[in-house]
Amino acid sequence: MAVEVDERVAQLFVALADANRLRIIAVLTPHCQSVNEIARQAGLPQPLVSHHLRILRERGPARADPPSIDWLTRWSGRPFTR
């Protein structure tokens, strides 16, 4: 018997399978924050946070709003959507 797995859910779990991304998610809010602000709150270097935010934005939990040179990022409120 085959079990169907929604690919979006699988990708979300991939995104959440990293301790640094979980730290970043813990500091995301519904309000936009700069990468530097997120890095400071998460206690991680800015380049590392930028890398992980890209993954989180691609897989749903984070959203750039609006996409800009500063990449102000917030919690998407929709963890199971792309």
pTM of the model: 0.74
Beta bridge partners of 33: 73
Note the pLDDT tens digit of each residue in 21-33.
999 988 988 778 8
Would you say 38 and 49 are in contact if contact means Cβ atoms under 8 Å apart?
yes
pLDDT tens track for 44-81: 999 999 999 999 888 877 877 665 555 566 666 655 44
Domain locations in the chain? 7-75
Written out in words, the top-level CATH class of the domain with range 7-75 is: mainly alpha
| DSSP label of 50 | H
